[in-house]
């Protein structure tokens, strides 16, 4: 391979594009061939030109059975049976707020964005920018959100492939549905997110039709390799252990999302409080302490619940926080309870009596720990990360 030249090389390229069902690319390549061979092989050029004219774009692409025609206003691909749209579209402005990301994540995504923005510089060195990435991590830590933000930064739409829709379509058809969606996404600059790809892997283990599911994995495998440099293919999963090792290796970049550490929890708490920070700000350290160990989306849900109660005037912020602490304190060990009690003593105007009542820590103990005005933050970190 790699030794072909002239007409042979061009023929091989046509076959490659045709097999990949990249109909638009076949057309463009054929048009180039017409120009290239007009002088040296006029008969060939004329014949190819004729094919191009007799099969105009709008007549539907013969190579592509399931996909939409390649018009500027191409309709989104849908499953033939259910008519469910297989792709969800998000178009966000670039000033969209960035997700809370660890320094390591920020760096690797930052590089990805720079590569895409300066792809011409890379091309000058014979390099292509990162074309594919896999986001791994527990639920609710921002994988889907980050894919959306990434697209907004690159100023391209985000297409999310609904794998449940693909999988729920008649099993024998999910391959062509998947292909239709992937082909659609390949035709214009975009970020394509294959969200929760473990859906395929899971079905694989408990479904009779293993052959079909294997084929789906194969379809994806091919795409990761052949993804055009105009787009980014992102896959996300909560279950890396279910991912086929063969699939894993093909991604240019592996991005690992982790549960937030205490400082990220604090940032998240402030962010999710929004304008109610003025009200709840004095509880920020206690809240962060109690939220540590939870995902961003759990923290967000809990804070929104508090904010809704305040908005409706159901309870005062102090009562809400007190209730919240009471429920959370049950799952802490003794040291954790003491830490909360000390925080409350140092940072709020609650009496030692109330603190003792809320946390179950005796007033003696609270006094002992607060007497020398110890700073509690370093201990919090150590304890909770153990």
Ligand X SMILES: Nc1ncnc2c1ncn2[C@@H]1O[C@H](COP(=O)(O)OP(=O)(O)O)[C@@H](O)[C@H]1O
| Residues at the site binding ligand X, with contacts judged by CB under 6 A | 99-100, 139-145, 296-297, 300
Q: Which of the choices Mg ion, ligand X, none does residue 280 contact, using the CB cut-off of 5 to 8 A by kind? A: none
Among positions 144, 174, 177, 269, the unique one binding Mg ion when judged by CB under 5 A = 144
Q: Which is nearer to ligand X, 50 or 98 (CB)?
A: 98
Q: Is 238 exposed, middle or buried (0-12, 13-18, 19+ CB in 10 A)?
A: middle
CB of 69 to ligand X, least distance (A): 33
Residue that the structure tokens 């290239």 belong to: 36
Please tell me the count of residues contacting Mg ion according to CB under 5 A: 2
Q: What's the per-residue H, E or C state across 80-138?
A: CCCCCECEEEECCCCCCCCCCCCHHHHHHHHHHHHHHHCHHHHHHCCCCCCCEEEEECC
CB of 39 to ligand X, least distance (A): 55
Q: Which is nearer to Mg ion, 129 or 260 (CB)?
A: 260
End-to-end CA distance of the chain: 55
Q: In the structure encoding, which two tokens stand for residue 247, read together? A: 């699939």
Q: Which is nearer to ligand X, 18 or 259 (CB)?
A: 259
Q: By CB under 5 A, which span of 36-44, 51-59, 73-81, 139-147 interacts with Mg ion?
A: 139-147
User: Residues 36 to 95: which contact Mg ion by CB under 5 A?
Assistant: none
CB of 87 to ligand X, least distance (A): 17
Q: How far is CA 225 from the centre of its chain?
A: 19
CB of 95 to ligand X, least distance (A): 16
Q: By CB under 5 A, which span of 20-28, 137-145, 171-179, 333-341 interacts with Mg ion?
A: 137-145
CB of 374 to Mg ion, least distance (A): 41
Q: Which of the choices Mg ion, ligand X, none does residue 299 contact, using the CB cut-off of 5 to 8 A by kind? A: none
Q: Which is nearer to Mg ion, 99 or 336 (CB)?
A: 99
Q: Which of the choices Mg ion, ligand X, none does residue 300 contact, using the CB cut-off of 5 to 8 A by kind? A: ligand X
Q: Please state whether beta strands 191-194 and 232-237 pair in parallel, antiparallel, or not at all (unpaired).
A: parallel
23 and 70 Cβ atoms separated by less than 8 Å? yes
Site string for Mg ion, 85-124 (x = CB under 5 A): ----------------------------------------
CB of 144 to Mg ion, least distance (A): 3
CB of 292 to ligand X, least distance (A): 15
Counting other chains too, the contacts that 172-178 makes at CB distance below 8 Å and 24 or more residues apart are 172/212, 173/79, 173/80, 173/81, 174/212, 174/216, 175/212, 175/215, 175/216, 175/219, 176/65, 176/66, 177/66, 177/77, 177/79, 177/80, 177/86, 178/86, 178/216, 178/219, 178/220
Q: Which of the choices Mg ion, ligand X, none does residue 145 contact, using the CB cut-off of 5 to 8 A by kind? A: ligand X
CB of 138 to ligand X, least distance (A): 7
CB of 256 to ligand X, least distance (A): 12
Q: Which of the choices Mg ion, ligand X, none does residue 231 contact, using the CB cut-off of 5 to 8 A by kind? A: none
Q: Which of the choices ligand X, Mg ion, none does residue 184 contact, using the CB cut-off of 5 to 8 A by kind? A: none
Q: Which is nearer to ligand X, 187 or 266 (CB)?
A: 266
Q: Which is nearer to ligand X, 171 or 253 (CB)?
A: 253
Residue 373 has, within 13 A of its CA and on its CB side, a CA count of 0
Question: Under the criterion CB under 5 A, does residue 146 sit at the interface with Mg ion?
Answer: no
Residues interacting with Mg ion, by CB under 5 A? 143-144
């Amino acid at each position: 391979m790699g030794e072909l030249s002239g007409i042979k090389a061009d023929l091989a390229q046509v076959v490659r594009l045709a097999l990949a069902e990249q109909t638009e690319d076949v057309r463009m390549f054929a048009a180039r061939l017409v120009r290239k061979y007009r002088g040296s092989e006029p008969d060939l050029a004329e014949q190819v030109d004729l094919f191009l004219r007799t099969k105009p774009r709008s007549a539907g692409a013969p190579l592509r059975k399931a996909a939409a025609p390649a018009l500027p206003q191409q309709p989104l691909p849908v499953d033939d049976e259910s008519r469910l749209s297989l792709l969800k579209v998000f178009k966000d402005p670039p000033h969209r707020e960035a997700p809370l990301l660890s320094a390591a994540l920020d760096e690797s995504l930052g590089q990805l964005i720079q590569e895409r923005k300066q792809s011409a510089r890379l091309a000058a060195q014979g390099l292509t920018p990162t074309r594919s990435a896999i986001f791994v991590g527990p639920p609710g830590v921002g994988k889907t959100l980050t894919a959306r933000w990434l697209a907004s930064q690159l100023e391209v739409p985000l297409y999310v492939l609904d794998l449940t829709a693909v999988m729920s379509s008649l099993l024998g058809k999910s391959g062509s549905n998947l292909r239709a969606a992937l082909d659609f996404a390949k035709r214009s600059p975009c970020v394509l997110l294959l969200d929760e790809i473990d859906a395929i892997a899971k079905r694989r283990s408990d479904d009779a039709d293993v052959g079909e599911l294997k084929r789906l994995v194969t379809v994806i495998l091919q795409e990761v390799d052949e993804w055009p440099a105009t787009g980014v293919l992102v896959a996300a999963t909560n279950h890396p252990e279910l991912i086929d090792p063969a699939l894993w290796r093909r991604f240019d970049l592996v991005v690992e999302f982790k549960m937030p550490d205490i400082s990220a929890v604090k940032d998240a708490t402030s962010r999710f409080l929004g304008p109610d920070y003025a009200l709840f700000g004095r509880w920020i350290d206690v809240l962060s302490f109690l939220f540590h160990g939870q995902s961003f989306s759990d923290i967000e849900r809990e804070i929104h619940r508090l904010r809704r109660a305040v908005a409706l005037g159901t309870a005062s912020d102090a009562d809400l926080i007190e209730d919240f602490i009471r429920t959370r304190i049950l799952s802490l060990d003794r040291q954790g309870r003491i830490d909360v009690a000390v925080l409350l003593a140092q940072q709020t105007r609650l009496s030692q009596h109330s603190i003792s009542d809320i946390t179950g820590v005796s007033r003696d103990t609270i006094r002992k720990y607060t007497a020398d005005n110890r700073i509690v933050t370093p201990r919090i970190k150590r304890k909770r990360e153990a």
